[in-house]
Structure 1
Amino acid sequence: MDIDSGYPWPMQGARWTAYDYRIIIEGLQRGQTWAEIARVVGRTVSAVQNRASILIENEDGGRRRKAWQRLQDRIEIEPDHDWETIARRKHAEAELPYWDENADAHVRTVWAAAPTAVWRGRGWLRRSLEPGVGMAELSAALRMSDADISDRIVILGLSTSYAEIVDRLGCTPGGSLEQRANLARADDQSSQYVLVAAGELGDILHVSLHADREAAEYARVVVESRFGRQGPVSTRIVRRVPGRLFDEYPNDDQHSRSAVHTAKDLDIPRDTVVAPAQVVDLDEETEPPPSSAPFNPWDWDIDSATGALPAYMRRPPPRRSK
């Protein structure tokens, strides 16, 4: 995982899984430092070292050492250290979900066998009125809550809506997953989709609001066809609910989509989408114009390093009459 170009610890706050533990053990077997292992896991060094206590038995009596030191020494002496059995037991004692390859495969199998739901404009609609099945089986087999299983379904990319998960698999009545599904259905009725298109240098070419994802995707094709004739264009669609700030939704585009089209790629009428009247380059540095407001010395834009005034403030002093 390359984390140099973005947020340095992308997995901070996420659930620990067997995949993370395996990276730690394999890194120690190869002789990597904890800093190198932390970069691959996507977490801080202290977080990875603290999590080593899950992978080794607790030390009784005597001179106590930190768990990461004992784990590192154990791997050097015993490369085939059975960390999985210890991790499973400690997860069960702490009532934490333990996700590994077998658990993920079970979730995928039950999801594929469950009745499908279809998208009809706003919200998920089932093809039948029968309640969803499968969540009770998963919860009993994996010994996890409905909420933990639904979060894993989203992480695996099987669904982007808690409402769809409940429709297909069901849930415990009155549980947290049912509340999430109800909120998702309510959001579906009031949510709107924002399409943003930007040029190669980050200049905003187009912003539009749409009632559903299907309309936003159609507008994306139109916008990419129009502006792609002039050069590279990146588009992104995000869902927003009026009245909520800084929310992120599972069905948001995680990255901008880049596209370049020629005039013959798509034959779409030019009046389908109204282009913005003016393109604004947010990266352009402009010098503020002289102010026509009354003189106020506190409004001077003085350079903190040199103490010099900006160019438009450096005028010769008035001549004094004799």
Structure 2
Amino acid sequence: MSTQLHITNGDSFTQRLKSLPFKGDIITWREMLCEGRTETNVGSESFWKTRFEFLHKNYNVSKSYFIEKTLKEYRSLCNHKQQDEIILWFEYDLFCQINMIAVLSWLKTHRRDAQISLVCSGNEDGTDTLYGLCDNDDEKIQSLFNKRIYLTQDDIEFADYIWQLYCSDNPIRLENMSDFEHYHFDYLSNAIKVHLKRFPSIKNGLNELENRIMRLAVEQKPKNKKELVQNIMDNQGYYGYGDTQFERIINSLKPLFTSYSPVRLSKKGKDIVEGKTSYYSQIRDNESYLGGALKYSFLYNDESGRILKL
């Protein structure tokens, strides 16, 4: 009788999975590796030190909370050494896909003998709608599990390689990757494209998501910040960010707003949206990382879809 271990993308789906008749233990991967500096050696002391420093500085995460929520769960993962099959439950978006390749990098090193399989939700009904795991009913979750993809050693090596590139100091190497279709990762290519658009635009110094927030502020005239956050949550596409992430981005753009209640841009804010001026020199932060790369050491060319090194 083979034994199974489930690794999920977050607490809400862990609770859902616990309510269903699946065998095996469940571990929750509590991280957001799409934001802040990352290191290739997932699970090492320096890896967790770097992650805690980012979360503490930017999200006010206390050491006790980090130990209780993230490190305890990671140690539990380390202690699960006997399972024959490890099933990963992740979603189509950038947030999940970056966590997924980090977990696969860790598994490549620490669980070489286990069979790794993947349940990845997204395009489930042939429409443009993308579904998170919790958006599916119980029957659909069982169906996704039954159709899970058994990853080959080549798949795992490829995921690890993309993780190494994500953690490198130069995103141009990621941009040049093209053979995603040879591996069992339906959404990874899109996630990497979205990641590259997080570098500042050559046009105005704001990245794609920051520009989208500014445009929504102009076009939808939200009544308050909460409504602005909800609007961007509803229109974020492949990012998969949570409300606290959007609130942090909006706060970084605060000088470009005259008011949050109602939401209104300043004249400079409007000029930036229209591409009449750049905000690069004001928003530049020499400690801001995307993976292993300094965010403001590169520019994204919207017309060519290419990254430029400064």
Q: TM-score range by the shorter chain?
A: under 0.3
Return the TM-score normalized by structure 2: 0.27
Greater per-residue strand proportion: 2
Return the TM-score normalized by structure 1: 0.26
Larger Rg: 1
